[in-house]
Amino acid sequence: MPTDVLVFDTTLRDGEQAPGFSLRVPEKLALARRLEALGVDIIEAGFPIASVDDAESVKRIAQEVQGPIIAALARCTTADIECAGKAIAQARRGRIHTFIATSDLHLERKLRISRQQCLDTAVKAVTQARQFTDDVQFSAEDATRSDMPFLTAVIEAVIDAGATTINLPDTVGYSTPDEIHDYFQAIIAAVKGSDKVVFSTHCHDDLGLAVANSISALHGGARQVECTINGIGERAGNAALEEIVMVTKVRADRAPFTTRIDARELFGVSQLLTELTGEAVQANKAVVGRNAFAHESGIHQDGMLKDRRTYEIMSPESVGVPRTTLVLGKHSGRHAVQQKCEALGYTFSKRELDQVYRQMIALAETQKHVSDEDLAAIAAQVKAELANIATPVGYGHGV
């Protein structure tokens, strides 16, 4: 039986931390509304203590976006939690997401506190957060590099204090899929009261494994997945929401997880994020990249024209992309050129098509891609040349 998974979108918080991706309040609100239409379960709207604008954006989203749970991030400090609590006060369903690092590296070198101080701080923060909402998420920063017995003790303590979601992030993208699967299984088995909470995974892409690690964590028992549109975020980014969702749809046999996401909204949300930030998605990005449903190779184009399933494992329409694109270039074949010409209103004999094809290839050698306008010009020229050859001299000119 498929297992339901909660989608926690952190585009507006972790995603915005990426250089160049800062958004103003109206822009955040517009994106939050699209995330609501997409069907995400939780929107992490921001980090209120970080700035006046961040606090205002969380407050506005909490007021105006009523479908998803609206979460606000807070460090395990009194001021952070108070600020987060005020920001989500008017949400129909609000969550405070509080965090502290648990790895010895972070405790010793960054926070300069002991393990006991870390545990006490985490419990105090969760207890305080429960005064604002009964939905409290606790994250153990750098969890995958933390000592397992200590991390287990921290998780048990915050569950006793009232945490309802436990997030175990792979903060620096260090894990591998097999490792993170075993890690979640071991933690869930070891923690007393693990059946009372939802375990969440938050993977970064430093080794290019964020999506694979997220799926493996779900197999290991996580039931909430944290991700961002286009995979934006700190350093190499986060697990890409659109990729995780489409893995569960295309490979339900291997990833039997269901979400509330309307996949037809994926491309539109991706495009909106690009428009708001001015940061383009890489051309070969899975699912939403410009080339995700584009084909230039003649072999691929021929297969696509015969049966799109030969080279597409999902339809462009299923993720909101208008159509498959056959790109004309030096690798294209005659079949694709013929199809493009017919779409433009030109019908050619084999001899005529050969001339069009040769001219298209020659142009592609100089400018890489041939547009529909370029092809139309070539087609018209070939038609005109052949008409002149076929017309005897003086015929039709009144002499």
Give per-residue pLDDT as tens, 209-262. 999 999 999 999 999 999 999 999 999 999 999 999 999 999 999 999 999 999
Are residues 228 and 138 located together in one domain of the fold? yes
CB 12 within 8 A of CB 23: yes
Residue 375 resides in a domain:
yes
Residue 283 resides in a domain:
no
134: DSSP letter: S
Which residues of the chain are modeled with pLDDT < 70? Answer: 1, 389-399
Are residues 271 and 376 located together in one domain of the fold? no
Residue 192 resides in a domain:
yes
Are residues 273 and 327 located together in one domain of the fold? no
Are residues 215 and 71 located together in one domain of the fold? yes
Distance CA 178, CA 213 (A): 8
Residue 285 resides in a domain:
no
Are residues 197 and 329 located together in one domain of the fold? no
Which pLDDT score is estimated for 76? 98
Total-model pTM: 0.89
Helix (H) or strand (E) holding 170: none
Residue 305 resides in a domain:
no
Are residues 74 and 202 located together in one domain of the fold? yes
Are residues 122 and 248 located together in one domain of the fold? yes
CA 244, distance to chain mean position in Å, is 7
Are residues 193 and 126 located together in one domain of the fold? yes
3-state secondary structure 245-306: HHHHHHCCCCCCEECCCCHHHHHHHHHHHHHHHCCCCCCCCCCCCCCCCEECCHHHHHHHHH
* Residues pairing with 98 in the sheet: 74, 138
3-state SS assignment for residue 347: coil
Are residues 117 and 263 located together in one domain of the fold? yes
Q: How many CB atoms lie within 10 A of CB 125?
A: 26
Count the domains in the chain: 2
Residue 346 resides in a domain:
yes
> What is the domain extent for residue 358?
323-390
Are residues 44 and 108 located together in one domain of the fold? yes
Cα-based torsion angle of the residue sequence 315, 317, 323, 327 in order, rounded to the nearest 10 degrees: -40
- Find the CATH number of the domain harbouring 213: 3.20.20.70
Which pLDDT score is estimated for 390? 55
Residue 354 resides in a domain:
yes
CB 298 within 8 A of CB 336: yes
Are residues 378 and 273 located together in one domain of the fold? no
Helix (H) or strand (E) holding 172: none
Write out pLDDT tens, residues 62-94: 999 999 999 999 999 999 999 999 999 999 999
312-347 in b/e burial notation, b at 16+ Cβ within 10 A?
Answer: bebebebbbbeebebbbbbbbbbbbbbebbeeeebe
CA angle 74, 189, 105 (to 5 degrees): 45
Domain boundary among 277, 312, 344: 277
Are residues 266 and 354 located together in one domain of the fold? no
Residue 314 resides in a domain:
no
Domain boundary among 220, 253, 277: 277
Helix (H) or strand (E) holding 77: none
